[in-house]
Amino acid sequence: MATGETGFDDVTFDLISVQYHSLKAGHDYGQYVRDADNAGRDDIAGFFRQVMKEDSDRAARCHEFLKELSGTTESGPAVT
């Protein structure tokens, strides 16, 4: 696999990016849940909770893939 100037291959970088954005979004959704709760919109709060769980699951899946790649030649020199 090709690596850029960072030493990370594209797949590792992509997984890190998806994991970061999923975790960041999950943090933001907490406020969205509170806003919907405060507005008395349990349906919308439930939707935001569902989205937050999906992002949490997505971040966990990325973490598992990154553990698999860590220490292998597939991951590039930055994580071997």
pLDDT tens string 60-80 = 999 999 999 887 655 455 455
Identify the DSSP state of 7: S
Task: Tell me which residue has tokens 């594209």.
Answer: 10
| pLDDT at res. 61 | 97
Does the residue 36 lie in any domain? Answer: yes
| pLDDT at res. 52 | 96
For 12-62, the pLDDT digits (tens) are: 889 999 999 999 998 899 999 999 999 999 999 999 999 999 999 999 999
Does the residue 76 lie in any domain? Answer: no
Does the residue 80 lie in any domain? Answer: no
Q: What is the number of structural domains in the chain?
A: 1
Q: Which of 26, 55, 32 is nearest to 45 (CA)?
A: 32
Element (H or E) spanning 36, and its range? Answer: helix 10-38
Which of the four pLDDT bands, split at 50, 70 and 90, describes residue 1? very low
Reduced to 3 states, what is the DSSP secondary structure of residue 44?
helix
Pairwise pLDDT comparison (6 vs 28), residue with the higher score: 28
What range does the domain containing 51 cover?
Answer: 10-71
Does the residue 31 lie in any domain? Answer: yes
Does the residue 29 lie in any domain? Answer: yes
Cα separation, 79 vs 77, whole angstroms: 6
